[in-house]
Chains A and B, each alone.
Chain A
Amino acid sequence: MILTNQQHKEIKDYIFDAPKYIETYNEVYDHMVNALEDRDEVYSTALLAKIINDDFGSFNQIKAEEELYQKQINQNQAKHFLNELTDSFKWPGLLANIVNLMLCACIYWSSTRSAFNTKPMMAAIFLCFILVNLYVYTKIWIRKRKHKKYSIFDNALGSLSTFGLFISVFVFYWFISNDSLISVNQHSKVIILLTLYFFCSLYIRSFRKFYNQKIKILIA
């Protein structure tokens, strides 16, 4: 069967609400068109329903399978990101870590001799994480507007970018702010802040690499 433009539109409309994510929608749509083109039957909406029921079970089954797929993707992306984090301790990423550690040591050494203002460094850490989140969520929003559906990778991407910000907010309110939940002396505050700075640098470098190497290609 050769499908007309109107029939293509009808197929798109018919399946649109079933899958939540654009990747599943594209896969189901491609499958439907292939299945219809291979048949020598007259096109009808009943035929669309028959293909869905025969091949996929039902719309509910597509949704259930999609949910499972999304969980697998989340675990997989978290694993990839962790690999990027650990890989940054291998050459050549190790060099940046050594430089950062030396910088931290210098800052710590100077803080033992004169008063150290934690605010600019804390603000810079927040700014870095906020910029990453802003970038990620803007991308997600743009893609959603373009395709009218979320990508299956958006959840993992959003969670991973927000996690860094969450950690920095947590550390700030627990240890660094003036009204911190746990009171620590200035010395310890500097060490915690420098650890957070090191984590921030590591996290953002790994996230950038992860995004460029995995996500950008997969969602392209």
Chain B
Amino acid sequence: MAVNNELFKGTLQTIILNLLSENEKMYGYEITQKVKSITQGELMLKEGALYPALHKLEAEGLLETTTEVVDNRVRKYYSLSKDGEKEVVNKLQEAKDFIAQLQLLLNLKPAI
């Protein structure tokens, strides 16, 4: 069963930051494909939501960008800035706390 995308909108920034902490640099399309492969297609990260989130993180100084010419086209890579490296720890902790509270509220048992 596919997951309702509305449910993970609030954690989009955390997902992006975490993916970039695990990968040195990534481009937009690569991020969508990575999310798709990790979740086995259950979560479809729409580019209409991804790029605004990436641009916001970039403007906030949490991401840095570089460009490379790949197959005759300019590709924009995103990577964590120094501030982003610090922020990813906070964001992950926030997400963990939120999930724990959600489990309590909804009487859910953690998946084993």
Residues of A within 8 A of B (CB): 8, 23, 26-27, 29-31, 33-35, 38, 55-57, 61, 65, 68-69, 72-73, 75-76, 218, 220
Contacts and interface: CB of A to CB of B under 8 A. Distances in A.
Nearest to A72: B59
Contacts, number: 55
B40 interface: no
Contacts of B65: 218
A31 B47 contact: yes
Contacts of A26: 67, 73-76
Interface of A is mostly: helix
B73 A23 contact: no
A61 B73 contact: no
B29 A34 contact: yes
Interface of B: 27-29, 33, 46-48, 51-52, 55-56, 58-61, 65, 67, 70-76
Contacts of B47: 31, 55-56
Contacts of B27: 30
B59 A76 contact: yes
B52 A27 contact: no
A30 B73 contact: yes
A61 B48 contact: yes
Given A30-B75, A30-B76, A57 B48 contact: yes
A145 to B, nearest CB: 17
Contacts of A56: 47-48, 51
Contacts of B74: 26, 30
A35 B27 CA distance: 13
A145 B95 CA distance: 47
A21 to B, nearest CB: 11
A55 B67 contact: no
Contacts of A38: 33
A31 to B, nearest CB: 5
B31 to A, nearest CB: 11
B73 A33 contact: yes
Nearest to B50: A55
A8 B73 CA distance: 10
B73 A55 contact: no
| Residue from the set A23, A34, A57, A75 with the largest chain B CB neighbour count within 10 Å | A34
A73 B70 CA distance: 25
A71 to B, nearest CB: 9
